Structure 1
Amino acid sequence: MGSGSMRSSWVCILMLILSILVIRDQLPELGAPVLLRVQAQGSWEVVVENAGIASMHTAVTIYNTVVLLDRTDIGPSQLPLPDGECRNDPNDETSTHDCTAHSAVYDIGSGTIRPLFIDTDTWCSSGQFDTDGTLVQTGGDNDGFSKIRTFAPCPGDGDCNWVETGTPLQNGRWYATNQRMPDGSQAIFGGRSCDTVEYVPSKGAPVYIPLIANTNDAQNDNLYPYVHLLPNNQLFIFANRDSILFDWNTNTAVANLPAIPGEPRNYPSAGSSVMLPLSGFNGWGGPEILLCGGATYGAFLNPAAGLPASITCGRIAPLDAAPAWAMENMPLRRNMGDMLLLPDRNVLIVNGAGNGAQGWGNAQNPVQTPVLYNPNAAAGTRFQTLTATDIPRVYHSTANVLPDGRVLIAGSNTHQFYTLTGYLPTELRIEAFSPPYLFGARPVITDAPGELGYGQAFTLTIDGGNPDFIDLNFLSAPYSTHSFSQGQRLLQLNTATPAAVGGGAYTVSTTAPPSSVIAPSAYYMLFAVSNGVPSTASWVHIG
């Protein structure tokens, strides 16, 4: 072979190595296999050209529909209410007579948008699904400050709508956080000028939380606190840079944790947070919290300065004997990003800006490149940049995992009202991002239970994929708003060796999570993940 041919061969080999990047998808985890797979970068698709509203609150229902919710005190939206219906609200500071919708349902299958009627202002409110799949939505501004609203979902062709309950919150809540609890209640933490927790249904008078009060500053960096239910039945609560372990049965702090290094991390400085997946392989122990991004202190007070966003992530095991934050750098600076637990147990970081802070007109330099974080990789090798979107998503944008494994991205409005021109206009398009794991042969769940009790043994039938590399993962349906998915949770089941049943199908036996502390009673998406590629989820009620 001549030297020219040899050079050509080596060039081909080098190009092949560069174009097919084979990396470890995950490290062994207590018996879980090691797998090598080809990495893609993902793809984007606009699924709705004009939803009519910019959704600042988004949640996926058990009927494979998506609730979109904006504030009402914003003037007319681009989505008319049906049949000449109008909202007459003498307390509305912008439009007391409004014939447009400020909430809607997106049907994933048909791609249609159905307007919903909501009466009181839901600006910067909070929410969580109840045990029966009803979305409970709390607080807001103005006449919505003390409201509790419910949305009992229905199939896409149904006529379900919002209901304003007659029972008010005891403390008005604006910029609060909801967490579904093991006893079926919802705990509601914080809010602007509100340093308490209360429960819905009520358990008595609201209880003062010193952490929330003590972490306030000139920017109010303690809003939308991060709350995670730990497997020891305590809560991890984070505000600004500080965090505690909280006993919700006695409503007391039982431990103060170290402050995270660097910038403030809650609204309006806006990092994001997840509890990393819990696993039945290690008895549901060893919880870890991941917190990424934020804004330089002063970015909210002086938005013209364009101060840089944080570039760091912190990770802590809050139940360790001596908890400490382990810090590492992201590939890109980011604030007001959204962090999502994906069905393959990786973390997606998407949306946000590289400078400024949350608030009207405070963000600059949109970050349009998502980042994938592999929690099981070694430090220094955990991040991977993915395909960028063409659409900036900054203040008041959301992200939710869909049952088909895609990620729905909605909203973005950095203006007080709908402003459809100029810099960072109000965004009415809805996108779906297909992560890298959707570019492979997908397993199919052909038989799954619709209801499970705690600790109940059950068997799934799966068609396709590789039974030697199979995971079964429950993923909650959280309430996405202001860079935090309230109630987000992923549970990896401890599975037995699959058994072939013919025709490429096989069964996998496992047991449901053991208690409402591990899996608060609710509907979950059950994904079968083979070779790192997820099935379409089956909705399963646990509890």
Structure 2
Amino acid sequence: MTSLLALALFSVCEAASYRTIGSSGCAAQMVFVPPYTDTVVFLDNYHRNFGGPGVDLKTGAHSKDPFMQDNGLWAFGVEYEWRTNDLRKLTPKSNTFCAAGAFAPDGTLLNVAGAELYSGDAKTTNLEDGRQTVRRYEPGPCDIDGCKMDFEVNTNELQSRRWYPTSITLTNGDVLVVGGSDVGLLVTNEASINNPTYELIKADGSQAPPQKNLTILEFGAEDNQNADMSFNLYPILQLLPNADKADHVFTLAGNRANVYNYATDEIVKELPNIPGGPRTFPGSAAAVLLPLKAPENEPTILVCGGSSADIPNPKALGDCYRIKPNDQNAVWIRDDWLPNGGQTMIEPVLLPDGTIVMMNGAHRGSAGGYQAEDPALQALIYDPNAPKGQRFIKSATSEIPRMYHSVAILLPTGEVLVAGSNPDVFYNPVGNVSLANPKWPEFQNNGHKSYLHQQQEPDTAYPTEYRVEIYAPPYMDKVGSRPIITAFPVSVKYGEQFKMAAEGAREDVVVRLSYSGFHTHGVDMGARMVQLEAVLSTDGDYIIDVTAPADASVMPPGVYMLWVIEKGIPSEAVWVKLEA
């Protein structure tokens, strides 16, 4: 029996695959999927760029031609059409380096914050400081000649400068922006530049209330080298389903956690510190809200990997923990270990079959420029419903290292788009740390020597990476038997019962709704999924009776991917608007 199980497991692993499909046009530090389109949008720091047509998809060698906007600036925002691999240059108008993103209820992406200008050898005329900017990118659909939308800048700026903040959408459609640093181009935050506040961007465009302090982000100068507190950039935020239908948000910064109501500015519940050290940047663990299931919608947070608080060389962590934050006595419970050992900068992606694929990152070090070594090339699939001890399956292996500044995101096909990797932060066709930093392993942080070391070895090289891959999960091996959605509503209201049709949906049918979110630095802002109440209808073949999410704490208002899954095999998704 043991050998048969092993063979079965091996066959599942072999079914998944990576394939290289195109070039990203810019170093893909951030990514999102504009609703109603066949595109993704990549964003980067502003610097030189040779990632346009001409990239060698086999070797990764860069194009010989500069990839620039029509105004003479280097391209650092690109629309990528993943069915045709076409590129379209975008104009973000200010430096988007290490920004955040969340969707408005109509599907518009709000890309917030960024960095100051770093001129170097890149022209910066007509480019603005991005730390207080709010950029809007509208959804599709696009016309027959392709998409035409581009970034527009909000009149209302952020109330303070933010680099490495996190943003999510709240129950009323407002966008929450939390934390960050006052200045950029650093690895560890410090008290003098910490921004321990949060603010709102109102869904109706009105003036937001003044920003407020957030205790979980606060620390003094005496704790600058206390990683449990100062490793607090890109805090982890997850809106939690709750009986009050309120803005209860799981918040994790460093190793500290709570549930916070950002609408009323109060702590709902203090949670225990997560064991093992800090899990936010540069600790950079994978953290997800596990797929919800109606009608209970009981939230569970999973945190895997990241980096320890060992100074000066943090170690990649291999542990995983779960917590049910709504439980009266919520505790962190040890889950299965990562099967390939410690892994930091993991990119987790919720798949429509209810599993999570974890990919990218490294087996040594932490997040940050040249801070890591030993790339994690093998994808892992985590099944939250499998028995403990059997939740991870080793999946396909890529040949392309995806180190610091890499991304992955779910496409409506059910595949995962993978791109990026740029440990240098700026353009570097070689990616050798000893060439970039003669003082290796020491480096500067906020104008002085960092208490961390760069852990990339002097003889390895991870250049700016432009190749784009598609990861096909195991269910893509069965595309011939996929259900096909043939009828569906374009919009539904909370709690509404509706009908849809999916050819091939005969038995063991599941319907899920998902947000791909905004992905950067292993933080999947807003990504969530719910299994809806659904039964095969008596009204005819392939008709399904479905109930929309109960309220906005389960899924905030927005435009979602709707999936039909039969016997574990998902359809392609369709876009559905969820509204009050």
Do the structures match in fold with TM over 0.5?
A: yes
Asked if residue 435 in structure 1 is aligned to residue 473 in structure 2, the reply is yes
Q: CA deviation at 1:249?
A: 2.4
Residue 459 (structure 1) shift: 1.1
Residue in 2 that maps onto 1:199: 200
How many Å separate the matches in 1 of 2:559 and 2:347? 22
Residue ranges of structure 2 left out of the alignment (5+ in a row): 53-64, 117-128, 182-193, 432-460
Contact 2:49–2:67 under 8 Å retained in 1: no
Partner of 1:211: 216
Match of 1:26 in 2: none
Q: Distance in 1 between matches of 2:67 and 2:357?
A: 37
Matches within 5 A, 1:105-120: 105-120=79-94
Amino acid at match of 1:147: T
SS of the aligned residue for 2:555 comes to coil
Q: Secondary structure of the residue that 1:101 maps to in structure 2? A: coil
Aligned partner letter, 1:290: L
1:330 aligned residue: 338
Which of 157, 164, 174 is the equivalent residue of 1:168? 157
Work out whether 1:42 is the aligned partner of 2:52.
Answer: no
User: More deviation in 158-167 or 374-383?
Assistant: 158-167
Equivalent in 496, 501, 508 of residue 544 of structure 2: 508
CA distance 1:295–1:461, change in 2 (3 Å): same
Instruction: Give CA deviations for 1:273-300 in whole Å, capped at 9, x if unaligned.
Output: 1111111143x2x21100111112146x
Q: Which amino acid aligns with 2:73?
A: C
Q: Secondary structure at the match of 2:401?
A: coil
Confirm whether residue 292 of structure 1 aligns to residue 304 of structure 2.
yes
Partner of 1:486: 525
Q: Does 1:134 align with 2:104?
A: no
Summarize the Cα distance change of 1:41–1:313 in structure 2 as closer, same or farther, 3 Å threshold. Answer: farther
Q: 2:365 aligns with which of 350, 356, 359?
A: 356
CA distance in 2, matches of 1:71, 1:326: 38
SS in 2 for 1:439: helix
User: Counterpart of 1:25?
Assistant: none
Contact 1:263 1:310 in 2 (8 A): no
Q: What is the Cα deviation at residue 398 of structure 1?
A: 0.7
Say if 2:162 is the partner of 1:124. Answer: no
Paired AA for residue 291 in structure 1: V
Deviation string 1:404-449 (CA, Å, 9 cap, x unpaired) is: 0000111110003211225011110011100112122211111111
Checking the alignment, whether the CA contact within 8 Å between 2:198 and 2:212 is kept in structure 1 is yes
One-letter identity of the residue aligned with 1:60: V
Give the 3-state SS of the residue equivalent to 2:475 in structure 1: helix
Corresponding residue number in structure 2 for 1:90:
none
Q: Deviations over 1:484-514 (max 9, x none)?
A: 110011011011244483xxx5111011112
Q: Distance in 1 between matches of 2:103 and 2:376?
A: 30
| 1:252 corresponds to 2:266 | yes
Per the TM alignment, residue 76 of structure 1 is displaced from its structure 2 partner at its CA by 4.1
1:20 maps onto 2:8 in alignment: yes
Which residue number in structure 1 is paired with residue 420 of structure 2?
411
Could you tell me which of 529, 542, 565 is aligned with 1:529?
565
Check the 8 A contact 1:499/1:506 in 2, yes or no.
no
Contact 2:352–2:512 (CA under 8 A) maintained in structure 1: yes
Residue among 452, 462, 473 paired with 2:492:
452
The structural deviation recorded for 1:255 is 1.6
1:190 aligns with 2:202: no
Q: Residues 105 and 114 of structure 1 are in contact (CA less than 8 Å); yes or no, is this contact kept in structure 2?
A: yes
Deviation at 1:523, TM superposition (A): 0.5
Whether the aligned pair in 2 keeps the contact of 1:397 and 1:482 (CA below 8 Å) is: yes
2:284 maps to which residue? 270
Aligned in 2, Cα 1:439/1:78: closer, same or farther, shift over 3 Å? closer
- Gaps spanning 5+ residues in structure 1: where? 1-12, 23-36, 87-97
Structure 2: distance between partners of 1:392 and 1:38: 23
- Mapped contact 2:509–2:536 kept (Cα < 8 A): no
Relative to 1, partners in 2 of residues 1:21 and 1:415: Cα closer, same or farther, differing over 3 Å? closer
**How far apart, in 2, do the equivalents of 1:205 and 1:84 lie?**
37
Assess if the C-alpha contact under 8 Å between 1:468 and 1:498 holds in 2.
Answer: no
Kept in 2, the 8 Å contact 1:266–1:272? The answer is: no
Checking the alignment, whether the CA contact within 8 Å between 1:61 and 1:477 is kept in structure 2 is no
SS at match of 1:211: helix
- Which residue number corresponds to residue 313 of structure 1? 320
CA distance in 1, matches of 2:9, 2:45: 44
Shift of 1:226: 0.5
Which amino acid is 2:570 matched to? P
| Partner-residue secondary structure (3-state), 2:218 | helix
SS of residue matched to 1:114: strand
1:226-254 per-residue CA deviation (whole Å, 9 max, x = no partner) reads 00111113111001111011112211112
Which residue is equivalent to 2:444?
A: none
Q: Secondary structure at the match of 1:491?
A: strand
Distance 1:123 1:84, change over 3 A: closer
What's the % identity of the aligned pairs?
31
SS of aligned partner of 1:496: strand
CA contact (8 A) 2:517 2:525 kept: yes
Q: Give 2:516's aligned residue.
A: 477
Which one-letter code corresponds to 2:161 in the other structure?
G
Amino acid at match of 2:526: G
| CA shift in 2, pair 1:390/1:187, >3 Å | same
- Asked whether 1:69 is paired with 2:43, we answer yes
1:157-202, CA deviations, whole angstroms, 9 ceiling, x for partnerless residues?
1221111222210011110000101111101011011101100024
Preserved contact between residue 139 and residue 147 of structure 1 (Cα < 8 Å): yes
Q: Which amino acid is 2:320 matched to?
A: C
Alignment-mate amino acid for residue 195 of structure 1: P
Give the residue type in structure 2 aligned to 1:316: I
Q: 1:208 to 1:460 in 2, by over 3 A?
A: same
TM-score with structure 1 setting the length: 0.87
CA root-mean-square deviation = 2.2
Q: 1-side partners of 2:69 and 2:428: how far apart?
A: 25
* Equivalent residues, number: 493
* CA displacement at 1:85 relative to structure 2: 1.7
Q: Which amino acid counterpart does residue 157 of structure 1 have in structure 2?
A: G
Q: Taking structure 1 as reference, are residues 144 and 535 closer, same or farther at Cα in structure 2, changes over 3 Å only?
A: same
For 1:432, the aligned partner's letter is: I
Change in 2 beyond 3 A, CA 1:496/1:224: same
What is the TM-score when the length of structure 2 is the normalising length?
Answer: 0.81
Amino acid at match of 2:511: L
Tell me which residue corresponds to 2:449: none
Contact 2:420 2:468 in 1 (8 A): yes
Measure how far apart 1:39 and its partner are: 6.3
Query: Could you tell me which amino acid in structure 2 is paired with residue 162 of structure 1?
Result: F
Contact 1:81 1:117 in 2 (8 A): no
CA distance in 2, matches of 1:159, 1:287: 38
Q: Which moved more, 1:456-465 or 1:395-404?
A: 456-465
Q: Is the 8 A contact 2:115 2:130 kept in 1?
A: yes
DSSP-derived class of the 1:20 partner: helix
Note the C-alpha offset of 1:82. Answer: 9.0
Contact 1:78 1:100 in 2 (8 A): no
Aligned partner of 1:31 in structure 2 is none
CA drift at 1:110 = 1.9
Q: How far 1:382 moved relative to its partner?
A: 0.7
Counterpart in the other structure of 1:150: 136
Name the structure 1 match of 2:395: 386
SS in 2 for 1:437: helix
What letter matches 1:20 in structure 2? Answer: A
Superposition pairs of residues 2-21 of structure 1, within 5 angstroms: 18-21=6-9
